[in-house]
Amino acid sequence: MQADIIVDTKGMACPMPIVRAKKALDTMTPGQVMEVLSTDKGSVNDLQAWVKQIKQELIQHEVEDGVYKFYVRKL
């Protein structure tokens, strides 16, 4: 998956991954994809709920070596 912007929140606890993702999303144009990296297990539920709440598209979610990766398309 090719991301237009990468938001690295590894080592940060919630709500920081969402705070950083929101700041990045505000700078994006529709159709762009943001990759959010997190090591916080709570971000799995939190980020999925946040994306749904703000009516954006969660394209993909995966875990690799303890890092949660979320791909969000701005609508």
Phi, psi of 27 (to 5 degrees): -90, -10
Which fold is adopted by the domain 5-73?
A: Translation Initiation Factor IF3 (3.30.110)
pLDDT at 38: 97
pLDDT at 57: 98
- Domain spans in the chain, listed from the N-terminal domain onward: 5-73
Residues 6 or more apart whose Cβ sits within 8 Å of residue 65: none
Q: What is the pLDDT of residues 6-33, one digit of tens each?
A: 999 999 998 999 999 999 999 999 999 9
Percent of residues, the chain, with pLDDT higher than 70: 100
- Cis status of the peptide bond prior to 15, with omega within 30 of 0: yes
Catalytic residue among 3, 5, 12, 14: 14
Extract the tokens encoding 43.
Answer: 């971000």
- Residue 54 pLDDT exceeds 90: yes
- Residue 34 pLDDT exceeds 90: yes
Kindly list the distances between the CA atom of residue 63 and the CA atoms of 6, 26, 27, 35, 71, in Å, as whole numbers in the listed order.
16, 25, 26, 13, 12
The maximal CA–CA distance of the chain, rounded, in angstroms, is: 31
Active site residue 14: yes
